[in-house]
A and B are shown apart, each in its own frame.
Chain A
Amino acid sequence: MTMLRQFRLIVAGPLDDERADLLFDRAGDLSVEAVPAEGVAWVAFDRVAPTLVDAVVSGVRDLDAAGVGIDRAVDDDPLVTLEVIAARIGRPVEVVRGWAGLPVPVREHPRRPVYHWPEVSAWLDRHRSPVSPAGGADVALEAVTLALRLRALAPRLERMPPIRSLLYP
């Protein structure tokens, strides 16, 4: 089902303004975040796609085209707004806003509080709409990560076809 898919690609190597220019030239449904002090950067996607796998693979292609290296695919940012919570459970934001007992936001704000998704998800499972597993999201992200690692190793392999044949026993 075509729907919003949210995930991040952790960047390997430099992510400068020129590469960010190329990324934003190519796609308008992403954001780029860097924490130089920790040596980490990622590209976060809000992509509409039939499956998470389709979304992540198309995201990999975007970074490839911009010359941005990729270390791994991971879950979306755990910090969410009421709008994101509402979208994930398919309820109007006004309904979610009115729920008593929602976990305390990590950022109190009269109009735009910010919540920690794992806490919200656990609360929803107990009290409201159980959050259905996102169709094996962990498996999809790990599979893409493994494919990226194999791709990185391929140039150093004596022969690739026998390795590729292992995918189809």
Chain B
Amino acid sequence: MDEMVGAGVDVEGDRHWLRLSCPGCRGWLGVPGEVPPGPAAQLVARRIDAFTQRHLRCGR
């Protein structure tokens, strides 16, 4: 998670899902807040990685 923030993505956790926002273009990603370790967590991590990659250029 620290890595995402470092890449220019804000994380808001006021729900039972997590919202990651790009401070550059205001795009956002919502992922489940609680995922069991293992394959399910890897699938969520993949969604976060893809979102982060898409917003590398527009993030601060």
Contacts and interface: CB of A to CB of B under 8 A. Distances in A.
Interface of A: 17, 20-21, 24, 28-37, 44, 46, 77, 79-81, 83-84, 87, 106-107, 109, 112, 114
Nearest to B7: A107
A17 B39 CA distance: 26
Interface of B: 15-17, 19, 25-33, 35, 39-40, 42-47, 49-54, 56
B27 A35 contact: yes
B23 to A, nearest CB: 13
B54 to A, nearest CB: 7
Q: Is the interface of A mostly helix, strand, loop or mixed?
A: mixed
B27 A114 contact: no
B21 to A, nearest CB: 10
Nearest to B30: A32
